[in-house]
Amino acid sequence: MDYVLIDSAGRMQTNKNLLDEMKKIKRVAKPDLTLLVLDAMIGQDVIDQATTFSSEINYDGVIVTKLDTDAKGGSIISISAGIKKPILFIGIGQDMDDIMPFDVNWYLNKIFSS
């Protein structure tokens, strides 16, 4: 099996019981790579969420979704600077082909073009 995806929907950083459940899943599954999926639309709350998940789950990198919306994606800068985790992939739409490796040139073009 190449990939196993575990949806953590509803696992907010403020719910200790659900975070403990995720730690147990990770301990049992023993994944080679753990990625946190963050929504670009949630603003600066993304830092609290990323920091808590980092200390509780210890993920390896980040996927930032919804960069196709009006959001400029400033959360990417905050995440990189705040928690020192790499942005590995971004989501720019609803289809599988809309998940792509993070490209800093694409990102800078998105920020500075209007």
* pLDDT one-digit tens code per residue, 17-67: 888 888 898 899 888 999 988 888 777 777 888 888 888 888 899 998 888
Phi, psi of 32 (to 5 degrees): -75, -30
Give the Cα separation of 62 and 32 in Å (integer): 15
The reported pTM is 0.82
Supply the angle between the helices 16-29 and 45-57 in degrees, to the nearest 10: 50
DSSP state of 109: H
As a whole number of Å, the CA-based R_g of the chain is 14
Per-domain residue ranges for the chain?
16-26+34-112
> Which tokens in the block code for residue 17?
């019981």
Say whether domain 16-26+34-112 belongs to CATH 3.40.50.300.
yes
- Of all residues in the chain, what percent are helix, strand and coil, respectively (each to 5)? 45, 15, 40
Spatial CA neighbour of 92 closest among 60, 109, 70: 70
